[in-house]
A and B are shown apart, each in its own frame.
Chain A
Amino acid sequence: MSAFDPARWRPAPLLPEGGGTAALLFVVATLCFLACLTAIGVVASDRAARGWIGQLGGEATVIVRPKRGETPDAAAARAAEALAGVAGVSEARALEPQKAYDLIRPWLGDVSDLEDLPVPRMVTVALDPKAPADAARLSQALKSQDVDASVDDHSLWIKDIRRAANLARALGAGVFLLIAGAAGAAVAFATQAGLAARRDVVEVLHLSGAEDSYVAGLFQRRFARMAALGGVAGAAIAAGIAATLRLAGGAQGLTPALPIAWSDLLVVIACPLIAALVAAVAARLTATALLRDME
Protein backbone atom coordinates (compact mmCIF):
# COMPACT_ATOMS: atom_id res chain seq x y z
CA MET A 1 0.00 0.00 0.00
CA SER A 2 1.39 3.39 -0.96
CA ALA A 3 2.10 5.93 1.76
CA PHE A 4 1.01 8.71 -0.57
CA ASP A 5 -0.90 11.42 1.26
CA PRO A 6 -2.95 13.69 -1.04
CA ALA A 7 -3.06 16.38 1.65
CA ARG A 8 0.72 16.73 1.41
CA TRP A 9 0.83 16.64 -2.37
CA ARG A 10 2.45 19.59 -4.12
CA PRO A 11 2.08 20.00 -7.88
CA ALA A 12 5.24 18.92 -9.72
CA PRO A 13 6.81 21.12 -12.42
CA LEU A 14 4.90 20.57 -15.64
CA LEU A 15 8.01 20.90 -17.77
CA PRO A 16 10.47 18.05 -17.45
CA GLU A 17 14.06 18.89 -16.64
CA GLY A 18 15.71 19.18 -19.99
CA GLY A 19 19.28 18.37 -20.94
CA GLY A 20 21.60 21.35 -21.22
CA THR A 21 20.21 23.16 -18.19
CA ALA A 22 23.58 23.01 -16.42
CA ALA A 23 25.37 24.31 -19.51
CA LEU A 24 22.95 27.20 -19.85
CA LEU A 25 23.29 27.97 -16.15
CA PHE A 26 27.06 28.13 -16.61
CA VAL A 27 26.73 30.46 -19.62
CA VAL A 28 24.36 32.80 -17.77
CA ALA A 29 26.55 32.80 -14.66
CA THR A 30 29.60 33.66 -16.78
CA LEU A 31 27.77 36.47 -18.56
CA CYS A 32 26.52 37.82 -15.24
CA PHE A 33 30.05 37.65 -13.83
CA LEU A 34 31.35 39.72 -16.76
CA ALA A 35 28.46 42.18 -16.46
CA CYS A 36 29.11 42.64 -12.74
CA LEU A 37 32.84 43.20 -13.26
CA THR A 38 32.01 45.78 -15.92
CA ALA A 39 29.53 47.50 -13.61
CA ILE A 40 32.02 47.62 -10.74
CA GLY A 41 34.69 48.98 -13.10
CA VAL A 42 32.39 51.69 -14.43
CA VAL A 43 31.25 52.75 -10.96
CA ALA A 44 34.86 52.86 -9.69
CA SER A 45 36.17 54.80 -12.68
CA ASP A 46 33.24 57.19 -12.47
CA ARG A 47 34.07 57.92 -8.85
CA ALA A 48 37.74 58.36 -9.70
CA ALA A 49 36.84 60.84 -12.43
CA ARG A 50 34.57 62.77 -10.08
CA GLY A 51 37.41 62.91 -7.54
CA TRP A 52 39.88 64.26 -10.08
CA ILE A 53 37.40 66.79 -11.39
CA GLY A 54 36.73 67.90 -7.81
CA GLN A 55 40.42 68.32 -7.12
CA LEU A 56 41.20 70.14 -10.36
CA GLY A 57 38.10 72.28 -10.19
CA GLY A 58 38.90 73.31 -6.63
CA GLU A 59 42.03 75.20 -7.53
CA ALA A 60 43.61 77.40 -10.21
CA THR A 61 47.20 78.21 -11.09
CA VAL A 62 48.40 81.70 -11.95
CA ILE A 63 51.72 82.30 -13.78
CA VAL A 64 53.05 85.75 -12.95
CA ARG A 65 55.35 87.75 -15.20
CA PRO A 66 57.17 90.51 -13.26
CA LYS A 67 57.04 94.10 -14.48
CA ARG A 68 60.18 95.88 -15.43
CA GLY A 69 62.19 96.57 -12.30
CA GLU A 70 60.10 94.25 -10.22
CA THR A 71 61.46 91.03 -8.73
CA PRO A 72 59.58 87.80 -9.53
CA ASP A 73 58.92 87.22 -5.82
CA ALA A 74 57.44 90.68 -5.40
CA ALA A 75 55.23 90.19 -8.46
CA ALA A 76 54.02 86.85 -7.13
CA ALA A 77 53.28 88.34 -3.72
CA ARG A 78 51.32 91.17 -5.34
CA ALA A 79 49.32 88.71 -7.42
CA ALA A 80 48.52 86.60 -4.37
CA GLU A 81 47.35 89.67 -2.52
CA ALA A 82 45.16 90.75 -5.44
CA LEU A 83 43.53 87.32 -5.67
CA ALA A 84 43.00 86.77 -1.96
CA GLY A 85 40.14 89.25 -1.81
CA VAL A 86 38.23 87.93 -4.83
CA ALA A 87 34.85 86.39 -4.16
CA GLY A 88 35.02 82.63 -4.72
CA VAL A 89 38.65 82.37 -3.63
CA SER A 90 39.43 80.66 -0.33
CA GLU A 91 43.15 81.14 -0.38
CA ALA A 92 45.83 82.49 -2.75
CA ARG A 93 49.42 81.63 -2.05
CA ALA A 94 52.63 82.41 -3.95
CA LEU A 95 54.55 79.25 -4.64
CA GLU A 96 58.00 79.24 -3.12
CA PRO A 97 60.78 79.32 -5.77
CA GLN A 98 62.07 75.97 -4.58
CA LYS A 99 58.70 74.35 -5.20
CA ALA A 100 58.62 75.83 -8.69
CA TYR A 101 62.06 74.35 -9.36
CA ASP A 102 60.87 71.04 -8.00
CA LEU A 103 58.00 71.09 -10.46
CA ILE A 104 60.20 71.53 -13.53
CA ARG A 105 63.11 69.36 -12.36
CA PRO A 106 61.55 66.11 -13.68
CA TRP A 107 61.61 67.56 -17.21
CA LEU A 108 65.09 69.09 -17.02
CA GLY A 109 66.92 66.57 -14.90
CA ASP A 110 69.32 67.29 -12.09
CA VAL A 111 70.74 70.56 -13.38
CA SER A 112 73.14 72.24 -10.96
CA ASP A 113 72.47 75.87 -11.96
CA LEU A 114 68.71 75.60 -12.18
CA GLU A 115 68.38 78.79 -10.15
CA ASP A 116 69.82 80.75 -13.06
CA LEU A 117 66.90 79.83 -15.29
CA PRO A 118 64.12 82.41 -15.61
CA VAL A 119 61.52 80.19 -13.98
CA PRO A 120 58.16 81.95 -13.81
CA ARG A 121 56.63 82.48 -10.40
CA MET A 122 53.32 80.84 -9.71
CA VAL A 123 50.41 81.51 -7.39
CA THR A 124 48.18 78.62 -6.37
CA VAL A 125 44.59 79.62 -5.77
CA ALA A 126 42.26 77.50 -3.66
CA LEU A 127 38.69 78.12 -4.81
CA ASP A 128 35.54 78.18 -2.73
CA PRO A 129 33.99 74.74 -3.52
CA LYS A 130 30.46 76.14 -3.18
CA ALA A 131 30.85 79.12 -5.53
CA PRO A 132 34.27 78.95 -7.18
CA ALA A 133 35.58 82.04 -8.98
CA ASP A 134 36.08 81.46 -12.68
CA ALA A 135 39.18 82.28 -14.75
CA ALA A 136 37.67 85.49 -16.10
CA ARG A 137 37.05 86.87 -12.62
CA LEU A 138 40.58 86.02 -11.50
CA SER A 139 42.07 87.60 -14.63
CA GLN A 140 39.98 90.72 -14.07
CA ALA A 141 41.19 91.01 -10.47
CA LEU A 142 44.83 90.68 -11.55
CA LYS A 143 44.36 93.19 -14.35
CA SER A 144 42.81 95.70 -11.99
CA GLN A 145 45.98 95.52 -9.86
CA ASP A 146 48.16 95.83 -12.96
CA VAL A 147 49.62 92.36 -12.56
CA ASP A 148 50.77 90.68 -15.78
CA ALA A 149 49.70 87.07 -15.35
CA SER A 150 48.00 84.06 -17.00
CA VAL A 151 45.27 82.14 -15.22
CA ASP A 152 44.86 78.40 -15.70
CA ASP A 153 41.68 77.09 -14.09
CA HIS A 154 42.40 73.51 -15.35
CA SER A 155 39.26 73.58 -17.48
CA LEU A 156 41.05 71.79 -20.33
CA TRP A 157 42.02 68.93 -18.04
CA ILE A 158 38.58 68.77 -16.51
CA LYS A 159 37.04 68.61 -19.97
CA ASP A 160 39.30 65.71 -20.91
CA ILE A 161 38.52 63.83 -17.71
CA ARG A 162 34.80 64.38 -18.21
CA ARG A 163 35.06 63.09 -21.75
CA ALA A 164 37.00 60.03 -20.58
CA ALA A 165 34.46 59.37 -17.82
CA ASN A 166 31.57 59.67 -20.29
CA LEU A 167 33.35 57.31 -22.64
CA ALA A 168 33.85 54.79 -19.84
CA ARG A 169 30.16 55.04 -18.97
CA ALA A 170 29.12 54.59 -22.60
CA LEU A 171 31.47 51.64 -23.00
CA GLY A 172 30.07 50.09 -19.83
CA ALA A 173 26.51 50.53 -21.09
CA GLY A 174 27.50 49.03 -24.43
CA VAL A 175 29.13 46.01 -22.82
CA PHE A 176 26.08 45.59 -20.58
CA LEU A 177 23.70 45.66 -23.55
CA LEU A 178 25.89 43.19 -25.41
CA ILE A 179 25.94 40.83 -22.45
CA ALA A 180 22.19 41.17 -21.92
CA GLY A 181 21.65 40.46 -25.62
CA ALA A 182 23.89 37.40 -25.45
CA ALA A 183 22.05 36.13 -22.38
CA GLY A 184 18.69 36.74 -24.06
CA ALA A 185 19.84 34.91 -27.19
CA ALA A 186 21.08 31.94 -25.14
CA VAL A 187 17.75 31.71 -23.31
CA ALA A 188 15.81 32.07 -26.57
CA PHE A 189 17.82 29.22 -28.06
CA ALA A 190 17.24 27.08 -24.98
CA THR A 191 13.50 27.83 -25.08
CA GLN A 192 13.39 26.83 -28.73
CA ALA A 193 15.25 23.61 -27.99
CA GLY A 194 13.03 22.91 -24.97
CA LEU A 195 9.84 23.35 -26.99
CA ALA A 196 11.13 21.17 -29.79
CA ALA A 197 12.33 18.45 -27.41
CA ARG A 198 9.09 18.30 -25.42
CA ARG A 199 6.55 18.89 -28.11
CA ASP A 200 4.64 15.90 -26.70
CA VAL A 201 4.26 17.62 -23.34
CA VAL A 202 3.12 20.85 -24.98
CA GLU A 203 0.57 18.89 -27.04
CA VAL A 204 -0.91 17.27 -23.93
CA LEU A 205 -1.07 20.64 -22.19
CA HIS A 206 -2.84 22.14 -25.19
CA LEU A 207 -5.29 19.25 -25.44
CA SER A 208 -5.99 19.61 -21.72
CA GLY A 209 -7.03 23.21 -22.31
CA ALA A 210 -3.85 25.13 -21.64
CA GLU A 211 -3.60 28.46 -23.40
CA ASP A 212 -0.43 29.46 -25.21
CA SER A 213 0.20 32.05 -22.51
CA TYR A 214 0.02 29.30 -19.86
CA VAL A 215 2.59 27.17 -21.68
CA ALA A 216 4.78 30.19 -22.42
CA GLY A 217 4.55 31.08 -18.73
CA LEU A 218 6.02 27.70 -17.81
CA PHE A 219 9.11 28.36 -19.95
CA GLN A 220 9.24 31.94 -18.72
CA ARG A 221 9.27 30.94 -15.06
CA ARG A 222 11.75 28.11 -15.60
CA PHE A 223 14.32 30.25 -17.39
CA ALA A 224 13.80 33.29 -15.16
CA ARG A 225 14.49 31.13 -12.12
CA MET A 226 17.53 29.58 -13.78
CA ALA A 227 18.86 33.00 -14.83
CA ALA A 228 18.34 34.40 -11.34
CA LEU A 229 20.38 31.49 -9.99
CA GLY A 230 23.10 32.12 -12.59
CA GLY A 231 22.93 35.81 -11.73
CA VAL A 232 23.49 35.12 -8.05
CA ALA A 233 26.49 32.88 -8.85
CA GLY A 234 28.04 35.34 -11.33
CA ALA A 235 27.46 38.32 -9.04
CA ALA A 236 28.89 36.52 -6.03
CA ILE A 237 32.10 35.63 -7.88
CA ALA A 238 32.50 39.16 -9.28
CA ALA A 239 31.86 40.68 -5.84
CA GLY A 240 34.39 38.26 -4.35
CA ILE A 241 37.08 39.35 -6.81
CA ALA A 242 36.31 43.04 -6.26
CA ALA A 243 36.42 42.53 -2.50
CA THR A 244 39.80 40.81 -2.85
CA LEU A 245 41.12 43.79 -4.85
CA ARG A 246 39.78 46.16 -2.21
CA LEU A 247 41.38 44.19 0.60
CA ALA A 248 44.67 43.85 -1.26
CA GLY A 249 44.99 47.49 -2.22
CA GLY A 250 43.21 49.38 0.51
CA ALA A 251 40.88 52.26 -0.34
CA GLN A 252 42.43 52.66 -3.78
CA GLY A 253 42.11 49.05 -4.82
CA LEU A 254 45.16 48.01 -6.78
CA THR A 255 45.62 51.39 -8.45
CA PRO A 256 44.60 55.00 -7.77
CA ALA A 257 43.18 55.09 -11.29
CA LEU A 258 40.53 52.57 -10.25
CA PRO A 259 39.74 52.96 -6.57
CA ILE A 260 37.25 50.36 -5.34
CA ALA A 261 34.92 51.21 -2.49
CA TRP A 262 32.93 48.66 -0.53
CA SER A 263 29.78 50.41 -1.71
CA ASP A 264 30.74 49.57 -5.31
CA LEU A 265 29.99 45.95 -4.55
CA LEU A 266 26.33 46.87 -4.08
CA VAL A 267 25.87 47.23 -7.84
CA VAL A 268 25.96 43.43 -8.21
CA ILE A 269 22.74 43.13 -6.20
CA ALA A 270 20.72 44.11 -9.26
CA CYS A 271 22.35 41.42 -11.43
CA PRO A 272 20.14 38.41 -10.57
CA LEU A 273 17.04 40.55 -10.98
CA ILE A 274 18.12 41.91 -14.36
CA ALA A 275 19.22 38.43 -15.50
CA ALA A 276 15.84 36.99 -14.52
CA LEU A 277 14.04 39.81 -16.30
CA VAL A 278 16.05 39.38 -19.51
CA ALA A 279 15.55 35.59 -19.44
CA ALA A 280 11.82 35.92 -18.71
CA VAL A 281 11.27 38.30 -21.61
CA ALA A 282 13.39 36.22 -24.00
CA ALA A 283 11.69 32.95 -23.05
CA ARG A 284 8.21 34.45 -23.18
CA LEU A 285 8.65 36.06 -26.59
CA THR A 286 10.29 32.96 -28.08
CA ALA A 287 7.75 30.52 -26.67
CA THR A 288 4.79 32.68 -27.68
CA ALA A 289 6.07 32.99 -31.25
CA LEU A 290 6.76 29.26 -31.56
CA LEU A 291 3.48 28.18 -29.96
CA ARG A 292 1.58 30.39 -32.38
CA ASP A 293 2.99 28.30 -35.23
CA MET A 294 2.62 24.99 -33.44
CA GLU A 295 -1.13 24.50 -33.55
Chain B
Amino acid sequence: MSRKPNAAADFSVTDEVVRFDGVSMRYGDGPQVLRDLDFMLKPGSFHFITGPSGAGKTTLLRLISLAARPSQGRLEVFGQDVSRLTPKTRPALRRRIGVVFQELLLLDHLSVFDNAALPLRISGRRAPNYRNDVAELLSWVGLGGRMDSMPETLAGGEKQRLAIARAVVNRPEILLADEPTGNVDHEMALRLFRLFVELNRLGATVLIATHDQDLVARSNRPTLHLDQGRMTVRPAPGQGAGLA
Protein backbone atom coordinates (compact mmCIF):
# COMPACT_ATOMS: atom_id res chain seq x y z
CA MET B 1 0.00 0.00 0.00
CA SER B 2 1.41 3.33 -0.93
CA ARG B 3 0.34 6.87 -1.51
CA LYS B 4 1.78 10.07 -2.85
CA PRO B 5 2.00 12.74 -0.14
CA ASN B 6 -0.52 15.51 -0.54
CA ALA B 7 1.29 18.75 0.07
CA ALA B 8 -1.72 21.04 0.00
CA ALA B 9 -3.43 19.15 2.82
CA ASP B 10 -0.29 18.54 4.91
CA PHE B 11 0.98 22.08 5.27
CA SER B 12 -1.92 23.12 7.48
CA VAL B 13 -0.09 21.36 10.31
CA THR B 14 2.31 23.76 11.96
CA ASP B 15 4.38 21.59 14.27
CA GLU B 16 6.55 19.93 11.65
CA VAL B 17 10.30 19.70 12.18
CA VAL B 18 11.07 19.06 8.53
CA ARG B 19 9.08 20.31 5.59
CA PHE B 20 9.76 19.76 1.90
CA ASP B 21 7.82 21.98 -0.47
CA GLY B 22 8.48 21.18 -4.12
CA VAL B 23 12.12 20.38 -3.37
CA SER B 24 14.32 19.18 -6.21
CA MET B 25 18.03 18.58 -6.08
CA ARG B 26 20.83 18.19 -8.56
CA TYR B 27 24.58 18.52 -8.03
CA GLY B 28 25.96 21.14 -10.40
CA ASP B 29 24.97 20.32 -13.94
CA GLY B 30 24.44 16.65 -13.13
CA PRO B 31 21.19 14.73 -13.32
CA GLN B 32 18.33 15.50 -10.99
CA VAL B 33 18.70 13.40 -7.85
CA LEU B 34 15.48 14.40 -6.11
CA ARG B 35 12.35 15.54 -7.94
CA ASP B 36 9.66 17.81 -6.59
CA LEU B 37 9.39 16.35 -3.08
CA ASP B 38 6.48 17.45 -0.89
CA PHE B 39 6.30 16.02 2.59
CA MET B 40 6.89 16.88 6.19
CA LEU B 41 7.94 15.11 9.34
CA LYS B 42 6.18 15.58 12.63
CA PRO B 43 8.20 15.87 15.83
CA GLY B 44 8.80 12.47 17.37
CA SER B 45 8.05 10.55 14.20
CA PHE B 46 10.11 7.54 13.08
CA HIS B 47 10.60 6.66 9.41
CA PHE B 48 12.74 4.52 7.25
CA ILE B 49 13.91 5.64 3.85
CA THR B 50 14.23 2.85 1.37
CA GLY B 51 15.02 2.60 -2.28
CA PRO B 52 17.60 1.24 -4.67
CA SER B 53 21.13 2.60 -4.81
CA GLY B 54 21.20 6.02 -6.44
CA ALA B 55 17.58 6.70 -5.58
CA GLY B 56 18.47 9.83 -3.63
CA LYS B 57 18.39 8.55 -0.03
CA THR B 58 21.75 10.01 0.93
CA THR B 59 20.98 13.31 -0.78
CA LEU B 60 17.69 13.54 1.12
CA LEU B 61 19.58 13.07 4.40
CA ARG B 62 22.23 15.59 3.36
CA LEU B 63 19.53 18.16 2.73
CA ILE B 64 17.91 17.63 6.13
CA SER B 65 21.29 17.64 7.88
CA LEU B 66 22.03 21.03 6.26
CA ALA B 67 25.05 19.61 4.44
CA ALA B 68 23.52 20.71 1.12
CA ARG B 69 20.89 23.13 -0.12
CA PRO B 70 18.03 22.28 -2.46
CA SER B 71 18.51 23.49 -6.00
CA GLN B 72 14.80 24.13 -6.27
CA GLY B 73 11.83 24.43 -3.90
CA ARG B 74 11.66 25.28 -0.23
CA LEU B 75 13.02 23.18 2.61
CA GLU B 76 12.32 24.09 6.21
CA VAL B 77 14.08 22.50 9.15
CA PHE B 78 12.83 23.47 12.61
CA GLY B 79 10.64 26.02 10.83
CA GLN B 80 13.56 27.78 9.17
CA ASP B 81 14.09 28.07 5.43
CA VAL B 82 17.46 26.40 4.92
CA SER B 83 18.19 28.57 1.85
CA ARG B 84 18.16 31.61 4.10
CA LEU B 85 20.47 30.19 6.74
CA THR B 86 23.76 31.98 7.19
CA PRO B 87 27.10 30.74 8.51
CA LYS B 88 26.06 32.24 11.83
CA THR B 89 22.59 30.69 12.09
CA ARG B 90 23.29 27.28 10.51
CA PRO B 91 25.52 25.81 13.27
CA ALA B 92 22.87 26.23 15.96
CA LEU B 93 20.43 24.14 13.91
CA ARG B 94 23.09 21.54 13.12
CA ARG B 95 23.68 21.03 16.81
CA ARG B 96 20.06 19.89 17.09
CA ILE B 97 20.58 17.24 14.41
CA GLY B 98 22.54 14.02 14.82
CA VAL B 99 23.80 12.37 11.65
CA VAL B 100 25.32 8.97 10.94
CA PHE B 101 26.85 9.35 7.51
CA GLN B 102 27.36 6.37 5.26
CA GLU B 103 31.07 7.23 5.01
CA LEU B 104 31.07 7.66 8.83
CA LEU B 105 33.40 10.71 8.77
CA LEU B 106 35.33 9.76 11.88
CA LEU B 107 38.34 11.90 12.75
CA ASP B 108 41.32 9.57 12.48
CA HIS B 109 43.60 11.67 14.71
CA LEU B 110 41.19 11.52 17.65
CA SER B 111 40.55 8.59 19.96
CA VAL B 112 37.23 6.80 20.10
CA PHE B 113 36.34 8.79 23.20
CA ASP B 114 37.31 12.12 21.62
CA ASN B 115 35.31 11.30 18.49
CA ALA B 116 32.23 10.42 20.48
CA ALA B 117 32.52 13.53 22.65
CA LEU B 118 32.99 15.88 19.69
CA PRO B 119 29.43 17.32 19.44
CA LEU B 120 29.32 17.97 23.18
CA ARG B 121 32.67 19.68 23.06
CA ILE B 122 31.62 21.85 20.12
CA SER B 123 28.42 22.80 21.91
CA GLY B 124 30.60 24.37 24.59
CA ARG B 125 29.97 21.96 27.44
CA ARG B 126 32.77 21.37 29.88
CA ALA B 127 34.39 17.94 29.96
CA PRO B 128 33.56 17.09 33.61
CA ASN B 129 29.87 17.55 32.78
CA TYR B 130 29.72 14.96 30.03
CA ARG B 131 32.61 12.53 30.12
CA ASN B 132 30.75 9.96 32.19
CA ASP B 133 27.79 10.13 29.80
CA VAL B 134 30.11 9.55 26.86
CA ALA B 135 31.74 6.60 28.58
CA GLU B 136 28.33 5.11 29.39
CA LEU B 137 27.14 5.53 25.80
CA LEU B 138 30.30 3.96 24.39
CA SER B 139 29.87 1.02 26.70
CA TRP B 140 26.29 0.70 25.58
CA VAL B 141 27.28 0.45 21.90
CA GLY B 142 29.94 -2.11 22.79
CA LEU B 143 33.00 0.13 22.65
CA GLY B 144 33.64 0.29 26.39
CA GLY B 145 36.96 -1.47 25.96
CA ARG B 146 38.09 0.64 23.00
CA MET B 147 37.61 4.15 24.35
CA ASP B 148 41.26 5.16 23.99
CA SER B 149 41.75 3.33 20.67
CA MET B 150 42.22 5.19 17.42
CA PRO B 151 39.54 4.74 14.73
CA GLU B 152 41.96 3.13 12.28
CA THR B 153 42.34 0.19 14.67
CA LEU B 154 38.59 -0.46 14.79
CA ALA B 155 36.75 -3.02 12.72
CA GLY B 156 34.08 -1.80 10.28
CA GLY B 157 31.21 -2.52 12.64
CA GLU B 158 32.99 -0.80 15.53
CA LYS B 159 33.53 2.30 13.43
CA GLN B 160 29.86 2.30 12.56
CA ARG B 161 28.90 2.06 16.23
CA LEU B 162 31.26 4.91 17.04
CA ALA B 163 29.65 7.05 14.34
CA ILE B 164 26.25 6.27 15.85
CA ALA B 165 27.46 7.12 19.35
CA ARG B 166 28.74 10.47 18.09
CA ALA B 167 25.44 11.17 16.36
CA VAL B 168 23.29 10.51 19.42
CA VAL B 169 25.56 11.70 22.22
CA ASN B 170 24.00 15.15 22.50
CA ARG B 171 20.40 13.84 22.35
CA PRO B 172 19.55 15.40 18.99
CA GLU B 173 16.00 16.44 18.15
CA ILE B 174 16.41 14.94 14.69
CA LEU B 175 18.45 11.79 14.17
CA LEU B 176 19.44 10.91 10.62
CA ALA B 177 21.25 7.69 9.81
CA ASP B 178 22.47 6.44 6.46
CA GLU B 179 22.79 2.67 6.44
CA PRO B 180 23.66 2.62 10.17
CA THR B 181 23.58 -1.15 10.51
CA GLY B 182 25.28 -2.06 7.24
CA ASN B 183 28.46 -3.41 8.80
CA VAL B 184 27.20 -4.89 12.07
CA ASP B 185 25.86 -8.32 12.82
CA HIS B 186 22.17 -8.96 13.27
CA GLU B 187 22.28 -8.90 17.05
CA MET B 188 24.14 -5.56 17.14
CA ALA B 189 21.81 -4.19 14.46
CA LEU B 190 18.85 -4.87 16.71
CA ARG B 191 20.66 -3.39 19.68
CA LEU B 192 21.41 -0.20 17.73
CA PHE B 193 17.86 -0.11 16.47
CA ARG B 194 16.67 -0.19 20.07
CA LEU B 195 18.90 2.81 20.72
CA PHE B 196 17.18 4.68 17.90
CA VAL B 197 13.78 3.64 19.24
CA GLU B 198 14.72 4.80 22.72
CA LEU B 199 15.83 8.19 21.41
CA ASN B 200 12.59 8.37 19.45
CA ARG B 201 10.66 7.55 22.61
CA LEU B 202 12.45 10.46 24.29
CA GLY B 203 11.17 12.76 21.57
CA ALA B 204 13.69 12.63 18.72
CA THR B 205 12.47 12.55 15.14
CA VAL B 206 14.25 9.61 13.52
CA LEU B 207 14.91 9.01 9.85
CA ILE B 208 16.93 5.97 8.82
CA ALA B 209 18.02 5.14 5.29
CA THR B 210 18.52 1.41 4.92
CA HIS B 211 18.61 -1.51 2.57
CA ASP B 212 17.84 -3.88 5.44
CA GLN B 213 14.33 -4.97 4.48
CA ASP B 214 14.21 -7.39 7.39
CA LEU B 215 14.77 -4.52 9.85
CA VAL B 216 12.11 -2.45 8.11
CA ALA B 217 9.64 -5.29 8.15
CA ARG B 218 10.15 -6.09 11.82
CA SER B 219 10.14 -2.52 13.05
CA ASN B 220 6.58 -1.69 12.12
CA ARG B 221 7.46 1.85 11.08
CA PRO B 222 6.32 3.90 8.08
CA THR B 223 8.65 4.05 5.12
CA LEU B 224 9.53 6.76 2.63
CA HIS B 225 10.40 4.97 -0.56
CA LEU B 226 12.56 6.74 -3.09
CA ASP B 227 12.98 5.67 -6.65
CA GLN B 228 14.65 7.80 -9.32
CA GLY B 229 14.30 10.85 -7.09
CA ARG B 230 10.56 10.50 -6.53
CA MET B 231 8.99 9.55 -3.22
CA THR B 232 6.13 7.35 -2.18
CA VAL B 233 5.05 6.70 1.38
CA ARG B 234 4.38 3.27 2.78
CA PRO B 235 2.62 3.52 6.12
CA ALA B 236 3.42 1.10 8.87
CA PRO B 237 1.06 -1.83 8.97
CA GLY B 238 -2.04 -0.93 10.90
CA GLN B 239 -1.39 2.80 11.31
CA GLY B 240 -0.93 6.07 9.44
CA ALA B 241 2.33 7.12 7.95
CA GLY B 242 3.23 9.46 10.79
CA LEU B 243 4.09 12.06 8.27
CA ALA B 244 1.68 14.38 6.80
Contact = CB atoms under 8 A, between A and B. Distances in A.
Contacts of B122: 205, 208-210, 214
B72 interface: no
A11 B121 contact: yes
Q: How large is the interface on B (under 10, 10 to 19, 20 to 34, 35 or more residues)?
A: 35 or more
Interface of A: 1-2, 4, 6-7, 9-12, 14, 16-17, 200-201, 203-212, 214, 291-292, 295
Contacts of A203: 105
B87 A295 contact: yes
B145 A6 contact: no
Interface string B110-130: 110110011101110001000
A209 B145 contact: no
Nearest to B172: A209
A11 B147 contact: no
B105 A200 contact: yes
B123 A209 contact: yes
B114 A4 contact: no
Contacts of B118: 14, 204-205, 208
B105 A204 contact: yes
B171 interface: no
Interface of B: 65, 67, 87-88, 90-92, 94-95, 99, 101, 105, 107-111, 113-114, 117-119, 121-123, 127, 131-132, 134-135, 144-149, 166
Nearest to A210: B122
A4 B148 contact: yes
A15 to B, nearest CB: 8
B109 A207 contact: no
A233 to B, nearest CB: 26
A208 B91 CA distance: 8
Contacts of A295: 87, 90
A16 to B, nearest CB: 4
A13 to B, nearest CB: 8
30 contacts: A2-B144, A2-B145, A4-B113, A6-B113, A7-B132, A9-B131, A10-B127, A11-B114, A11-B117, A11-B121, A12-B110, A12-B114, A14-B107, A14-B118, A16-B108, A17-B109, A203-B105, A204-B105, A204-B107, A204-B118, A205-B118, A206-B94, A207-B94, A207-B105, A208-B119, A209-B91, A209-B94, A210-B91, A292-B87, A295-B87
3 nearest CB pairs, A to B: A209-B95, A16-B109, A6-B135
A292 B108 CA distance: 25
